[in-house]
Amino acid sequence: MTKPVVENAFWQPEAERMPRVELAALQLTRLRAMVARLTANVPFYRDACARAGVTGDNIRSLDDLRRLPFTTKADLRDNYPLGFMAVSRREAVRYHGSSGTTGKPTFVAYTRRDLETWADLCARFLVATGVRPEHTAQVSFGYGLFTGGFGLHYALERIGVGVIPVSSGNSDRQLTILQDMAPEVLISTPSYALKLMEGIQARGIPRGSLGLRFAHFGGEPWTEDMRARIEAGLGILCFNNYGLSEVLGPGVSGECPWRNGMHIAEDHFIVEAINPETLEPAPEGEPGELVFTALTKEAFPLLRYRTRDIATLTRVPCPCGRTLARMGRITGRTDDMLIIRGVNVFPSQIEEALLRVEGTAPHYLIEIARPGALDEATVHVEIRPETFSDSMSEMQALRDRIGRAIQAVTGLGMHIELVGPQTLERFEGKAKRVLDRRKA
């Protein structure tokens, strides 16, 4: 996108527009101090850095980052629950956990200063994209171990926004609040916004009659086509933000008014994109697994944390004036990559393909089975009420169009199963779009 969609504004202009030479110097100073602190306080890093021969003192340039050990989710599990904590429990004032979508939850910790940094980093993307003190925000992210609810909550308060902490679930109540309290801002996962959008349409609330103007989505992958659908359906602007509990929670990166990627808080984290097999840096602009090194965190700083999230990075200057690197959309996780007949496919590719086909609803389920020797993929796609037709040939034509769109994006032929409106499951948090029967 080449034009700003809202007026450009800054929350921490010195940090967000810092010349890159200064930024690099700041990162180096912070990295050296961090490595010195972690080798002294965290047994895992004491041992791993000793093996690699790295100390805070012998880091001379940012290139030395590559000598540091990686940290993985498995390392967190091996040191469950708080083996990576770098301060005493006395200094911790909050704990969160990952939702445990892929196993046992992992815990992370925050000091008071960590919470302040976190609020500032979320405030950066909120303010950048139009959120102002006079606004009211409905936070439909879950409040609890999940970082989404509390993370955005304190940032909104810090800006001066009136927060309605409704949390996730109970869509009827959410809709009533949207109507009666008329918040300008919605915070949720994109899939939950879809569910709310359907509720709005079912209640017959006219598009544009709500006070809603902006939505900030994060927590799960979504696509540009999904953005277009929700923006058109609700008459609002939608923005993307990214984060994960092991690194911080939301606020690691977020969009600016140009919406050409998410600016990363590089004054607090060093980001790399690597080839997940060779562990070598991915060429700039090519997709790689994102790896983050904490520079300022006190309670739970990780070195070179492998996120398993795949995205591209660019340091090309952005028209908004922020000097901070941008990451593209997360196109998948190394662990949600499907291998179908030897071809690597991410669920987001299928979403991209089917949202390009007129008449589909943005609800789908990818089912994979191996009835014989070969994998068979079936995509269950909801059609819109107005598209539903008694004509077999029309339905067949729609199926063919979807099949071709998916083939064009993934290179694979898949069975397309059209299902009626409102038949697939809806989600209050992160959506589950894959049913892999090969694992059963």
| Contact residues for Zn ion, defined by CB under 5 A | 256, 258, 318, 320, 322
CB of 136 to ligand ADP, least distance (A): 23
> How is residue 244 written in tokens?
């994960």
Smaller CB separation from ligand ADP, 210 or 262: 262
Smaller CB separation from Zn ion, 254 or 359: 254
Smaller CB separation from Zn ion, 229 or 322: 322
The answer to whether the CB of 437 falls within 8 A of the CB of 339 is no
Smaller CB separation from ligand ADP, 111 or 147: 147
Residue 58 neighbours by CB under 8 Å, 6+ apart: 64
Select the binding partner of residue 245 from ligand ADP, Zn ion, none (C-beta < 5 to 8 A, by kind).
ligand ADP
CB of 146 to ligand ADP, least distance (A): 6
DSSP 276: T
CB of 106 to Zn ion, least distance (A): 32
Smaller CB separation from ligand ADP, 39 or 240: 240
Select the binding partner of residue 379 from Zn ion, ligand ADP, none (C-beta < 5 to 8 A, by kind).
none
Residues 195 and 51: their CA atoms lie apart, in Å, by 50
CB of 263 to Zn ion, least distance (A): 6
Select the binding partner of residue 244 from ligand ADP, Zn ion, none (C-beta < 5 to 8 A, by kind).
ligand ADP
CB of 351 to ligand ADP, least distance (A): 12
The answer to whether the CB of 398 falls within 8 A of the CB of 387 is yes
Select the binding partner of residue 318 from ligand ADP, Zn ion, none (C-beta < 5 to 8 A, by kind).
Zn ion
Binding site for ligand ADP (CB under 6 A): 98-101, 146-147, 218-221, 240-245, 307, 309, 330, 333
Cα first-last separation, the chain: 43
Closest-CA residue to 376 (of 319, 438, 328, 427): 438
Q: Which residues pair with 364 in a beta bridge?
A: 381
CB of 242 to ligand ADP, least distance (A): 4
Smaller CB separation from Zn ion, 15 or 76: 15
Smaller CB separation from ligand ADP, 195 or 399: 195
Crossing angle of helices 347-355 and 392-410, in 10° steps, is 130
Select the binding partner of residue 307 from ligand ADP, Zn ion, none (C-beta < 5 to 8 A, by kind).
ligand ADP
Residues 92 and 114: their CA atoms lie apart, in Å, by 9
Q: Which residues pair with 417 in a beta bridge?
A: 380
Residues 365 and 22: their CA atoms lie apart, in Å, by 47
CB of 140 to ligand ADP, least distance (A): 15
Q: Quote the radius of gyration of the chain (alpha carbons, Å).
A: 22
The answer to whether the CB of 326 falls within 8 A of the CB of 290 is no
Q: Which amino acid, one-letter code, is at 220?
A: E
